[in-house]
Amino acid sequence: QAAGEGVIAGYPIADMRVILVDGSYHEVDSSDMAFQIAGAMALRKAVSEAGPALLEPIMEVEITIPEECLGATSGDINSRRGRIIGMEIKGKMQIVRAQVALSEMSKYTNDLRSITAGRGSYLMHMSHYETVPHKIAQPIINQYQSAKNQEEVVH
């Protein structure tokens, strides 16, 4: 349960294995709830000491645009923390392949339409996960910690 709630920003913990090497049971003090609390506390401590990182989905994007829009499109991809990984010419159109964080793609349809005067299109699919840059992760973590602290004060 604690792994599903995360430790640093409330997101589930991924790619982790836990091995319990020792434990004991006492008829008076041991209960299901006591073991859950102990496990959650141990998980939080171990994860905090391990140097956790936030991960974000990275999308593989294929953008088809008129040749004259290549510069503006490349600049736009770079401004979205994207990496261009390839280009090819197909008639009078350019096909740009890039990897971009999903969080940066929310308004891309409108922006591409503006850049290409409605003549561009794109396809995207999930590629992999990468660590969120510190300058973006820190405000997310701070907001979660602040909300968590306020919740504890209320209770």
Query: In which order are the strands placed within the sheet that holds 121-131?
Result: 83-90, 93-101, 55-66, 121-131
Closest CA to 43 of 8, 67, 75: 8
Tokens 């096909």 found at:
95
Per-residue pLDDT of the chain (155 residues), as tens digits, is: 888 887 878 888 888 887 878 877 777 777 888 888 888 888 888 888 888 888 999 999 999 999 999 999 999 999 999 999 999 999 999 999 999 999 999 999 999 999 999 999 999 999 999 999 989 988 888 888 888 777 777 66
Closest CA to 53 of 136, 128, 132: 132
Q: How far apart are CA 146 and CA 142, in angstroms?
A: 6
In Å, what is the CA distance from 68 to each residue of 76, 113, 116, 124? 14, 14, 9, 22
What pLDDT is recorded for position 155? 61
Q: Which residues, 6 or more positions from 69, have their beta carbon under 8 angstroms from its beta carbon?
A: 94, 115, 116, 119, 120
Q: What tokens does 31 get?
A: 């209960």
